[in-house]
């Protein structure tokens, strides 16, 4: 006889309902809508109060100073309610947040965001839609797909184009290199990397990109099993764009070494210089050499809506894949990005059909499951932000905003060029400027490096303004990154005055320190 107990009728009775008080004021549901509204209004009041008091982009706090406020925080003992929790959040986060909407924030590729996009974030977060499959998303699937089709049309792709929203440019670039690797493996050796792993000769693949392209290409090569050595840095010209002649030479050298040109990455808006590689001649070389052409337009994608500067992306329609970051030049909150491809069939290498999620029969029935073309499974409905922005304001207003920051960069270039204490490296194509404070032409390079490092630290400590820093030819420079259409030339003048003031103070302090050092006494023998 079995030792297992027999089921009784009581085993099948309905379990008692959970105590409703345990979910009171916890879950977003119909019975909690009053509390939901009250909580949102308190959060909104906190945001409004903080925004009204913001008078500089940063508080200037140091990491070790802020860390002290977290030392005795006990996450096992909650606050008494949302009011106390919001007050704590204001103290721990908002008081020392970095405010990208402030006109003196000119550091990284962070943008102020549109109001419809914030509204969309609230809607998305409330209903918690995941767009991996149709049965979790419904109309959200079609909203994302329409935006993909719209972006592909703006690029100039044909009817076979497709794409998918991603977490950002790094993921988009990784996915593009994945498609390039698997596509060429299939073409050269009829080898399916998806099914059989890396081909024995995959270590011979080489990817070409500018010396000033984004580091995510190297990261992608490593993650794809090709290694950092698979990335061949191509020299740039006087305008920090990929040198086409150098690219031709690099490809020829690669072939002579018995290696296999896999892909070339043209950057439409380098992070440091905003430079745009000459896509048309690069596309011609790619076709001739049988390479995948990827255009990293994470920054320069704003030109897709520009009425004045769209021509700067000439040739982008010839790419096999394109990265766009709406959370940069489309004024969207992070994350909001996409990878677009000219041929939808190339996305098949990331498809896996799971019976519990996206079975093959659903595809055959015509059910659109976006997970079929994504590296992610669970995925936020980030497309809603861009959708609501476009449906509220239209693409022209976004294009005008990007045109405005390009115009500001050109004004700022003339301002810096006319200042005898500033050395500027390049004329901007988009909205970044690399320069350094150089009040004395006789100063040594190490002294200049130290001086400009000190300026940036002093600026950040004061919180009055924020600028970026970078190294070019192993020398230290400052950088303006302009994405805020509300920043004007007077704001740039104000930040420049701060740079020069902190620079003068740093020189004075350095001079005083040197005079306080004990003098060397010559030894008389």
- Quote the tokens at residue 293: 């052409």
Task: Please provide residue 263's backbone torsions phi and psi, each rounded to the nearest 5 degrees.
Answer: -155, 155
- Quote the tokens at residue 234: 């191509």
147 lies in the same domain as 274: yes
Query: pLDDT band at 524, cuts 50/70/90?
Result: very low
How many Å apart are CA 60 and CA 50, to the nearest integer? 16
Average pLDDT on 190-194 reads 93
170 lies in the same domain as 278: yes
Domain's final residue, options 350, 382, 414: 382
346 lies in the same domain as 487: no
How many Å apart are CA 337 and CA 165, to the nearest integer? 6
Q: Which domain holds residue 503?
A: 396-511
Residue ranges with strand state E in 58-122: 105-106
How many Å apart are CA 167 and CA 172, to the nearest integer? 8
Domain assignment present for 309? yes
Domain's final residue, options 382, 414, 448: 382
350 lies in the same domain as 490: no
Query: pLDDT band at 509, cuts 50/70/90?
Result: confident
350 lies in the same domain as 409: no
pLDDT > 70: what percent of the chain? 93
- Note the pLDDT tens digit of each residue in 280-327: 999 999 999 999 999 999 999 999 999 999 999 999 999 999 999 999
* pLDDT computed for residue 211 by the predictor: 97
- Quote the tokens at residue 144: 């994302």
How many Å apart are CA 220 and CA 375, to the nearest integer? 13
- Quote the tokens at residue 420: 């005898």
Task: Please provide residue 296's backbone torsions phi and psi, each rounded to the nearest 5 degrees.
Answer: -90, 95
Q: H or E stretch including 173?
A: helix 169-189
Domain assignment present for 266? yes
pLDDT at 470 over 90: yes
Domain assignment present for 56? no
- Quote the tokens at residue 387: 């959708």
Query: pLDDT band at 352, cuts 50/70/90?
Result: confident
Domain assignment present for 51? no
Q: Is 57 helix (H, G, I), strand (E, B) or coil?
A: coil
- Specify whether the CB–CB gap between 327 and 118 falls below 8 A: no
Number of domains in the chain: 2
337 exposure class (CB count in 10 Å sphere: 0-12, 13-18, 19+):
buried
Residue ranges with strand state E in 81-140: 105-106
Domain assignment present for 7? no
pLDDT at 525 over 90: no
367 lies in the same domain as 401: no
| ∠ Cα 482 485 487 (to 5°) | 70
470 lies in the same domain as 407: yes
Provide CB contacts within 8 A for 491, sequence distance 6+: 103, 104
- Note the pLDDT tens digit of each residue in 11-66: 455 565 666 667 788 999 999 999 999 999 999 999 999 999 999 999 999 999 99
CA atoms within 13 A on the CB side of 183: 22
236 lies in the same domain as 354: yes
Q: How big is the chain, counted in residues?
A: 525
Helix 383-393 with 395-417: angle, nearest 10 deg = 90
Domain assignment present for 388? no
* pLDDT computed for residue 25 by the predictor: 85
* pLDDT computed for residue 358 by the predictor: 86
Q: Which residues pair with 478 in a beta bridge?
A: 435, 469
357 lies in the same domain as 406: no
- Specify whether the CB–CB gap between 487 and 407 falls below 8 A: no
Domain assignment present for 195? yes
Average pLDDT on 474-484 reads 98
370 lies in the same domain as 407: no
- Specify whether the CB–CB gap between 409 and 313 falls below 8 A: no
- Specify whether the CB–CB gap between 161 and 147 falls below 8 A: no
Q: CATH no. for residue 475?
A: 3.90.1150.170
Task: Please provide residue 71's backbone torsions phi and psi, each rounded to the nearest 5 degrees.
Answer: -65, -40
- Note the pLDDT tens digit of each residue in 453-464: 999 999 999 999
Q: Is 366 helix (H, G, I), strand (E, B) or coil?
A: coil
How many Å apart are CA 242 and CA 287, to the nearest integer? 17
Torsion of CA 141, 142, 148, 154, to 10 degrees: -160
238 lies in the same domain as 273: yes
Q: Buried b / exposed e across 179-207, counting CB within 10 Å, b at 16+?
A: bbbbbbbbeeeebebeeeeebeebebbbb
- Specify whether the CB–CB gap between 320 and 292 falls below 8 A: yes
Closest CA to 220 of 324, 162, 294, 327: 294
- Note the pLDDT tens digit of each residue in 224-276: 999 999 999 999 999 999 999 999 999 999 999 999 999 999 999 999 999 99
Tell me what the pLDDT averaged over the chain comes to. Answer: 93
Q: Is 34 helix (H, G, I), strand (E, B) or coil?
A: helix
Q: 84-93, 370-379, 510-519: which has the highest mean pLDDT?
A: 84-93
Average pLDDT on 162-190 reads 96
pTM of structure: 0.92
Domain's final residue, options 324, 354, 382: 382
Q: CATH no. for residue 293?
A: 3.40.640.10
How many Å apart are CA 470 and CA 197, to the nearest integer? 38
455 lies in the same domain as 493: yes
Q: Is the CA virtual torsion 438, 439, 443, 446 positive or negative?
A: negative
Domain assignment present for 134? yes
Q: H or E stretch including 475?
A: strand 475-481
């Amino acid at each position: 006889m079995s030792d297992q107990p027999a089921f009784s009728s009581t085993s099948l009775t309905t379990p008692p309902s959970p105590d409703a008080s345990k979910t009171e004021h916890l879950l977003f549901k119909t019975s909690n809508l009053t509390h939901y509204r009250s909580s949102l209004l308190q959060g909104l009041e906190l945001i409004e109060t903080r925004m009204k008091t913001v008078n500089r982009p940063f508080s200037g706090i140091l990491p070790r100073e802020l860390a002290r406020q977290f030392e005795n925080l006990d996450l096992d003992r909650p606050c008494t309610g949302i009011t106390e929790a919001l007050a704590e959040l204001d103290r721990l986060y908002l008081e020392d947040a970095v405010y990208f909407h402030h006109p003196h924030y000119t550091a990284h590729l962070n943008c102020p965001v549109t109001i419809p996009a914030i509204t969309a974030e609230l809607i998305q977060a409330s209903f918690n839609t995941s767009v991996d499959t149709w049965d979790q998303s419904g109309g959200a699937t079609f909203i994302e797909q329409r935006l993909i089709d719209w972006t592909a049309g703006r690029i100039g792709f044909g009817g076979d184009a497709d794409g998918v929203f991603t977490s950002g440019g790094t993921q988009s670039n990784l996915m593009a290199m994945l498609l390039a690797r698997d596509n060429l493996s299939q073409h050269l050796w009829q080898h399916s990397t998806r099914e059989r792993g890396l081909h024995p000769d995959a270590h011979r693949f080489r990817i070409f990109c500018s010396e000033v392209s984004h580091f995510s290409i190297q990261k992608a090569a490593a993650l794809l099993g090709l290694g950092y050595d698979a990335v061949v840095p191509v020299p740039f010209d006087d305008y920090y764009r990929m040198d086409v002649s150098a690219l031709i030479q690099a490809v020829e050298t690669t072939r002579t070494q018995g290696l296999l040109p896999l892909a070339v990455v043209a950057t439409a808006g380098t992070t440091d210089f905003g430079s745009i590689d000459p896509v048309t001649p690069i596309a011609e070389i790619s076709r001739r050499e049988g390479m995948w052409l990827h255009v990293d337009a994470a920054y320069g994608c704003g030109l897709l809506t520009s009425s004045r500067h769209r021509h700067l992306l000439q040739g982008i329609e010839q790419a096999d894949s394109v990265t766009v970051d709406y959370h940069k030049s489309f004024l969207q909150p992070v994350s909001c990005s996409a990878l677009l491809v000219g041929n939808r069939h190339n996305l098949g290498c990331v498809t896996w059909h799971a019976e519990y999620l996206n079975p093959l029969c659903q595809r055959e029935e015509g059910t659109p499951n976006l997970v079929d073309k994504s590296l992610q499974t669970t995925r936020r409905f980030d497309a809603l932000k861009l959708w609501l922005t476009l449906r509220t304001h239209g693409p022209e207003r976004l294009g005008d905003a990007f045109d405005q920051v390009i115009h500001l960069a050109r004004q700022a270039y003339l301002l810096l060029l006319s200042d005898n204490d500033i050395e500027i490296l390049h004329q901007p194509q988009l909205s970044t400027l690399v320069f350094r404070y150089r009040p004395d032409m006789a100063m040594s390079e190490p002294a200049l490096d130290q001086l400009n490092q000190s300026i940036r630290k002093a600026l950040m400590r004061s919180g009055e303004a924020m600028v970026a820093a970078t190294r070019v030819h192993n020398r230290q420079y400052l950088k303006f990154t302009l994405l805020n259409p509300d920043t004007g030339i007077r704001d740039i003048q104000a930040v420049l005055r701060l740079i020069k003031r902190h620079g003068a103070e740093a020189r004075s302090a350095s001079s005083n320190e040197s005079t306080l050092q004990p003098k060397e006494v010559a030894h008389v023998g």
